[in-house]
Amino acid sequence: MTSLQTIKTLVMAVQTLKDIEQLSVKDEIKEQLVRKVLESIGIIETVEGETISAPTTENLRLKQPTLGSQERVLESLSKLGGSATRADIASDSGLDPNIVSSLLNKLVKRNRVEKVKIDAVDSNSNRNGRGLKPGYIYKLVDEESGK
């Protein structure tokens, strides 16, 4: 394999490992997938069903770079009673509202937060958006029950 092919393979493996970390599946399944990827590029080896030098998702540090910020959003939601608007979360966490939106979307995909549409209360205006009433609130998901 040429150096360029090796680099391309490693880049693809790293991206695959990041994608695995974002899956909404049990950690044991993630670790099995990580082992398969690492086996396929020759980083680890399985002998008679036993993995040699098998890293886990924890020690590989495959967390998104925004994990600290995601934790801040989760802490703010918790402090705000478990549900809040994006603006409330941004205000409480001190993060930019656009960044909060991005982080909330990631947390929704990871099933850590639920996005709930707010029914329009004001019959004169069904509009929402900047400067208007929020269209959604975000709720913490109970990790044990998934709701």
97-113 CB burial, b ≥16 within 10 A, e <16:
eeebebbbebbeeeebb
Residue 40, CB-side half-sphere exposure with 13 Å CA sphere: 13
Number of domain units in the chain:
2
Same domain, 94 and 46: no
Question: What pLDDT is recorded for position 61?
Answer: 41
CATH number reported for the structural domain that contains residue 136 in this entry: 1.10.10.10
In a domain, 41, yes or no: yes
Contact of 44 with 53, CB cutoff 8 Å: yes
How is residue 130 written in tokens?
A: 């900047």
Domain, as residue range, for 32: 3-52
Question: What pLDDT is recorded for position 115?
Answer: 93
Tens place of pLDDT per residue across the chain (147 aa): 677 777 788 788 888 888 888 888 888 888 888 878 877 777 666 555 555 554 554 444 433 334 478 888 999 999 999 999 999 999 998 888 888 888 899 899 999 999 999 875 554 555 555 556 778 899 998 765 555
How is residue 2 written in tokens?
A: 């040429």
- The verdict on pTM exceeding 0.75 is no
Question: What pLDDT is recorded for position 133?
Answer: 73
Tell me the three state secondary structure of residue 136: strand
